[in-house]
Structure 1
Amino acid sequence: MTRIAVGGFLHETNTFAPTKATFDDFVQGGGWPGMTQGAEILDVMRNINVGLAGFVETAEAKGWELVPTIACAATPSAHVTKDAFERIGKVMVEGIASAGRVDGVYLDLHGAMVTEHLDDGEGEILARVRKVIGQDLPLVASLDLHANVTPEMVQHADALIAYRTYPHIDMADTGRACAEHLALMLASRSRFAKAFRQLPFLIPISWQCTTDQPMQQIYQRLTALQSSAVPTLSFAPGFPAADFAGCGPSVVAYGTTQAGADAAADEIAAAVVGRESAFDGRIYLPDEGVRLAMELAKSASKPIVIADTQDNPGAGGDSDTTGMLHALVRNNATRAATGVLYDPQAAKAAHAAGVGATVTLALGGKSGIPGDAPYQGSFIVDSLSDGKFVASGPFYRGRQMDMGPSAALRIGGVSVVVSSRKAQLADQAMYRYVGIEPTQQSILVNKSSVHFRADFEPIAEKLLICAAPGAMPADPATLPWKYLRPGIRLKPNGPVFMPR
């Protein structure tokens, strides 16, 4: 029987963010399943939208025996602590080393992990796994679309396969693709030729959405190029908030010949570079966006949905800035809701006061973001929740969520979802769990950049993007970069980075 060792270790690192990822953050998981080890992984990783779940499903259908090690993820943030990386990495690597005879290894990784002591977390994990399995066993990994792929990652893995959708509704599908690629390698007992290209400009995450152009067209071409001669081809637009030399977009191709892999990689790289000017769009200031939303709502039959993109906890924000809340209240918005605002102290105060009570709070604004501050005001407690619910939208897809003690607070015509844990608002259930029906609002302000689109586009009259103060600037050229590779442009058609 074919035996495959498997594991997962995911983190998207914003090196400019205010809060680091500790071991306990991986234990809890945020919007991801909590840390699991050993056989329990095969129970937890089923029927949910994560790479490991898709791999497990396909591997079992092929009759493979799986040897699970550890699976964990944490909400995007600043650096992963050395303690967390080393403790988790040790379990994963030692689990593979002690697995006995295996025929291959599959890892569910992100591709944009930076730690306190390592710039390239995934490159290090892959190198350590390669060291214990030797050069002959196949090693395959799934990656996030936002992966900052490095030469070291490409060197140590036999295949790196990235998601193709943003919102990431194909995470499980990518795990399945990894299983199929691994099956090809096992059947042929050979490796594929590799081609790797790093591209010359950073792409803002708001314009990496694959349901819009130019990304949609690029991925259509990528799919058309894939064939028996080039079985795997990936374009990763990158995560443009990790200050190290590997940050940026990339293309990775695997072919039966080096010429075939090179040709496919070159064609996709040229398609991206040729559309550089299209990776940009309109972003509104908070008051400007709220006033436009209020005007549009007058004749709309569905909500106007605003992305509070710079405080996206899926990109390293603490999900607690108040710029958009201030704009909603200041402009007298009605039938408006926003969330999820992370403030455990405010949630605790709401629970202590009870439904119907009025609580005076300094809400949010505790992460020290320049230009941001707590919202000082009196709020009515409309509802309370223990924070546990099932997310049913296409992105989270069936995950058991635990946001901790939560509340719906109301000030004027604005309702606020307040939680004790952080997760990107990418599912309508993240309003409903505190009694707010999103389809009945005129304006929704989601702390997300793109993932919310998967569940909110069908109920939205129009989508807007606003830039209130936050940890993930919509324009990467505004970040204080120090360690990028020389010559890369800081945004499409933007200034060139040169180290000082």
Structure 2
Amino acid sequence: MASEKQRLPVVAFAGLSCENSTFTPSRTRAAAFHPKRGQEIIQHHQFLHPNTKLGDEADWKGTLIGHALPGGIVERGSFEELAAEITQRLSGICEALQHPLDGLWFDIHGAMYVEGLEDVEAELLRRIRAVIGPTTVVSASMDLHGNVSRELAHQADLITCYRTAPHVDVWETKERACRNLLRTLEIRKAGGSLPLKAWIPIPILLPGEQTSTRDEPAIRIYAAVPEVEKRDGVLDAAIWVGYAWADEPRNRAAVVVTGWDKNAVADGAQELAATFWDVRGEFEFVAPTGTFAECLDLALAAKARPYFISDSGDNPTAGGSGDVTWGVAQLLARPEFRQATGPTVIYASIPGPKAVTIAEKAGVGATITVTAGAEIDDLHADPITLTGQVHSIKLGDPHAQTEVVLKTGSVFVILTKLRKPYHKEHDFTELNLRPRAADIVIVKIGYLEPELYDMAADWMLALTPGGVDQDLGRLGHRRIQRPMWPFDTQFEAQPNLEAQFIPFSNEQLGAEGVA
């Protein structure tokens, strides 16, 4: 057997990832996480393959990783089922080793909410710690729209997040979390210590559509992150915007900087936090906003084609149920679109399992009348009845399962068996739709994902109702910590933006302020 000095570090990985709106009536179940297990996880992460730098630097052990489409609260039983499998698999790995597990990569989002539980990622890591022990080095990778409570920062030794929104650095962030983990293990092996962790909560809670790194002030805020990371004695720097559509005390912006030089770590964290706080009044939406009617009026009057409109209040990639019919009902009520010769509009999308079944049976070219939507979220509008011609049918989509396009007047309405986000051009072209040739494309989304952004000649963000309403004041938060910008614009005193050094997982965490 290889000596302790010669053997590769053994690193397991686990995690559950989802962002859950507490203002959405839908529920997220275990199957929605599409769990990957064991070797399947390594195959999914190319940077861990054999003959890659990271892949050959450790003995990687997969347990279970699950990523669910954002939605409503996770059912307690589903969480318990998946969490139990993670701890059971970790227990098996630990029992098979003749030494403690060296490291764990904790792959999470940071905005999961489970029935009867809060600060869920910290709770899951507590359960994992009960198996792997307090001395195994844990490195977490997160979405910048996640939340970092003091307890999560305590349970994890290393923690980092995306630096772009839209998220074009997902794989880079995961790889960085693993690289930081292996570097820390090497330093510990040579007799060094774990890095210090400076955590600063910031009393700001904004939607991603006001904090995109395409625009100022987020451009310069996030440009400062790698500059802090470059400093001697700093391992990693990260800024979280937080998740705006859950009513939970931990939800807010945060900074975490890790490293071995206490002054460099504290100074870097405080500079990032101060930069964020000082520009709080500069955040604006990523595009012109308006009511849905105003957006349609401007789109019709514009010469730019295709003109995109975000039906943002029911965005399924932010936690919306996806079946709010308010937008499509407003659209189809407009006289401009009642004739086939009217402006060409694509609307994506409305779940309607029964409507999809009827369309499948009728076939392409058939004229049908179906009812769809509002089976889950009926708080904002009723189900909608449509009469139109079946334009196309597609089977086997990993999210929607079955998709149908129904043409009614000059509008092509996409109906799905299950909700689906529409982020890529092929999502439309595979349905025999030509978004580049359309006059108007309406998508349930917030900020436009890269392909849609590049495709749009112009666009607006419609402030529509739903479980992820961009007008946060309409939702009714009750449990976030106050004062909180922009819910509160007057603060009696400046917030405390001094670095708080969080103890390691095997040290006592003070009882104060676990959120």
Question: Could you tell me the TM-score, scaled by structure 2's length?
Answer: 0.86
Q: 1:15 to 1:402 in 2, by over 3 A?
A: closer
Partner residue of 2:214? 211
Partner residue of 1:455? 451
Q: In structure 1, the residue corresponding to 2:20 is in which secondary structure? A: coil
Identity percentage of aligned residues:
26
Q: In structure 1, the residue corresponding to 2:70 is in which secondary structure? A: coil
Q: 2:14 aligns with which of 7, 13, 21?
A: 7
Question: Larger deviation: 4-13 or 429-438?
Answer: 429-438
1:156 correspondence with 2:163: no
**Offset of 1:329 from its aligned partner?**
2.8
Q: Deviations over 1:463-483 (max 9, x none)?
A: 210022211110222222222
Question: Larger deviation: 304-313 or 273-282?
Answer: 273-282
Q: 1:86 to 1:349 in 2, by over 3 A?
A: same
Partner residue of 1:396? none
Partner residue of 2:40? 40
Q: 1:291 aligns with which of 291, 294, 297?
A: 297
Query: Are the aligned partners of 2:349 and 2:444 in contact in 1 as well (CA < 8 Å)?
Result: yes
1:482 correspondence with 2:486: no
**Offset of 1:161 from its aligned partner?**
0.8
1:220 correspondence with 2:223: yes
Gaps of 5+ in 2: 1-7, 338-342, 493-515
Equivalent position amino acid for 2:194 in 1: R
Q: 1:68 to 1:349 in 2, by over 3 A?
A: same
Question: Larger deviation: 257-266 or 243-252?
Answer: 257-266
Query: Are the aligned partners of 1:342 and 1:364 in contact in 2 as well (CA < 8 Å)?
Result: yes
Partner residue of 2:370? 361
1:193 correspondence with 2:187: no
Matches within 5 A, 1:264-279: 264-279=268-283
Q: Deviations over 1:185-217 (max 9, x none)?
A: 011112111111111121122112111121111
Partner residue of 1:313? 316
**Offset of 1:369 from its aligned partner?**
4.0
**Offset of 1:240 from its aligned partner?**
0.6
Gaps of 5+ in 1: 27-33, 48-53, 389-400
Question: Could you tell me the TM-score, scaled by structure 1's length?
Answer: 0.89
**Offset of 1:60 from its aligned partner?**
4.5
Q: Which has the larger radius of gyration?
A: 2
Partner residue of 1:236? 240
Equivalent position amino acid for 2:113 in 1: V
Question: Larger deviation: 454-463 or 34-43?
Answer: 34-43
**Offset of 1:492 from its aligned partner?**
7.3
Give the Cα–Cα distance (whole angstroms) in 1 for the partners of residues 451 and 195 of structure 2: 37
Equivalent position amino acid for 2:115 in 1: E
Partner residue of 2:263? 259
Matches within 5 A, 1:166-185: 166-185=165-184
CA RMSD of aligned residues (A): 2.0
**Offset of 1:402 from its aligned partner?**
4.2
Give the Cα–Cα distance (whole angstroms) in 2 for the partners of residues 476 and 470 of structure 1: 11
Query: Are the aligned partners of 2:483 and 2:491 in contact in 1 as well (CA < 8 Å)?
Result: no
**Offset of 1:37 from its aligned partner?**
1.7
**Offset of 1:70 from its aligned partner?**
0.7
Q: In structure 2, the residue corresponding to 1:417 is in which secondary structure? A: strand
Equivalent position amino acid for 2:320 in 1: G
Give the Cα–Cα distance (whole angstroms) in 1 for the partners of residues 417 and 69 of structure 2: 14
Equivalent position amino acid for 1:317 in 2: G
Matched length: 466
Equivalent position amino acid for 1:284 in 2: G
**Offset of 1:135 from its aligned partner?**
2.4
Give the Cα–Cα distance (whole angstroms) in 2 for the partners of residues 495 and 381 of structure 1: 56
Q: In structure 1, the residue corresponding to 2:87 is in which secondary structure? A: helix
Query: Are the aligned partners of 1:340 and 1:430 in contact in 2 as well (CA < 8 Å)?
Result: no
Give the Cα–Cα distance (whole angstroms) in 2 for the partners of residues 172 and 476 of structure 1: 31
Query: Are the aligned partners of 1:239 and 1:247 in contact in 2 as well (CA < 8 Å)?
Result: yes
Q: 1:442 aligns with which of 439, 460, 472?
A: 439
Equivalent position amino acid for 1:244 in 2: E
